[in-house]
Structure 1
Amino acid sequence: MSVPIVRTVPDLRARVRAWREEGARIAVVPTMGALHEGHLSLVRAALRRADRVIVTLFVNPKQFNSASDLAAYPRTEEEDAAKLAPLGVDILYAPGAEEMYPEGFATTVSVGDVSEGLCGAFRPGHFDGVATVVTKLLLQAGADLAFFGEKDFQQLQVVRRLVRDLDIPVEIVACPTVREEDGLAISSRNVRLSETERQIAPKLAEILRLAAGRIGAGAPVDRTLADARSAILAAGYARLEYLELRSEEDLAPLSTLDRPARLLAAAWLGEIRLIDNIQVMPLPQNGLAGASDRQLEEG
């Protein structure tokens, strides 16, 4: 069993047009390849809700901030196709750069507001690249549903906003972050961690969880964030880019927990940048157990 690979827009649209004539419900799962369990969980979710599923594989040069990062990103199309085949994916859409950005390409999709701050502050132009390629992929696939993970929560909100603002007729389906047994959010970057770094890495999720518990139980936000920042660095992370409480709906910064929120962080272990986030709900709806200050400081 193998997955048919399509490389051009006309070929993709011809397949989709035939499915439409059959009355099929179509889903797309955009990826940059190097597929892991996080990606495969999105594919399984898509297969449960749609008759036909397209997985895209395109390493998008426009969302990388450095040429070295782009060059280092793994290209594993053959392995990715082998992982998708037993799941029953209908098409692997793997266009080349010349198909996505032909000569003379001059358009950029830029989403304000939700792209500002957090990763947007440290990766200038990144979300313009994401918004541009996702817009193209959604228009090319013409799917009813598109699946994205919550691990890249700011990216998810950027996609939701561009779909709303540009009237793209697709439902964005968010899927929970998939984690290793020790709590580390699964990422293609994890394989680049040294053995020592891999032992430290789960501390980020653990500290976020404890901080979310404290905030959800009514602890002061500023103090809790300050304690969590110190705990992340004490755990062995070399540098913390940000740790912030933001409104879940529009990513507005919060100093008090008065609405559903996300605690979001980005931190460096050696040369590897890891991101994570935890949902935090106001007290009346909160099912999280509060953590003591002592637990967080020892986290």
Structure 2
Amino acid sequence: MKIAIESVLLGLVSLPGVVAWGDLGHDTAAYIASYFVSNSTAAYLKDLLDNQDEDYLAGIAMFADKYKYTHEGHFTENFHFIDAHDDPYTDCNVNYDRDCKKGGCVISALANYTAQALDRDLSKEENQLAVKLLVHYIGDLHQPLHNEDVARGGNDIHVQWRDHDQKLHAVWDKTIPETIAGHLSKKRKDGILEWALEWANELTTEISNGKFAREKNTWLKNFDLSDPLNTAMGWSIEANKLVCSHVFPKPNSPEKIEGKELSGRYYAKAAPVVEKQIARAGYRMAAWLNEIAHNNWEKDNEEL
């Protein structure tokens, strides 16, 4: 059964101009996850997050982006990405020891906050914070340019989109997802959560019995929450390969893509990748949260 659009809190509307993978993409992935988690996981998370509404995950999907700008959360600034020091024109690759910054990266953050989410000796508030951050970081991990260092993940590469100047990173963060979901009735005018929910309903159908149905089980190949670091590294390697194949497809080296118009042929090849990555993020997020909830449920029952 699809999530009811009417149940979304209408007051939670993002300001114009700030939509990104961070808003539309993250919220969509979170709604997809809320569709695929088990009933017991949903009950556990709603209690942990103090939210019984359908947006219990989507409503906190952007928390980490706000948290990093606070005094107490500033140390998480580097937890949204891993800077692969590779050559995205000849050899895309990620190496944890080489690429994870001394202060941490998205891979170490996923491992650390998974441990905190599973630690029943921590307070409810600490478990809650860990889950809020995990929901966002799993989404970040699936954006190819969050797994690449060149030109600061594409932030220093300026391109054209329908004759308007944009950063390449923003094209992948914001413009491509918005364009894919532009056919939906809600769009931005009804609020980002409503728009994301409508897109999530569409993608969950594709995952359940549409174009992703046959491959969705492969998305969890080698998934092992007892080894979150290697699980996350596998997904990072997968996303990083897309930098070579679709972000900078030959002959579009990082230097040659500067100033190019990307709304035509480039978009046609990139859009299916973005759509699949958001679908993967939501489906994998559900598996990740299921394992956390089930492990904690078993621990709680052992103590009874």
The higher-RCO structure (CA 8 Å, 6+ apart) is: 2
Q: Whose strand proportion is higher, 1 or 2?
A: 1
Larger radius of gyration, structure 1 or 2?
A: 1
Q: Whose helix proportion is higher, 1 or 2?
A: 2
TM over 0.5: no
Into which bin does the TM-score normalised by the smaller protein fall?
under 0.3
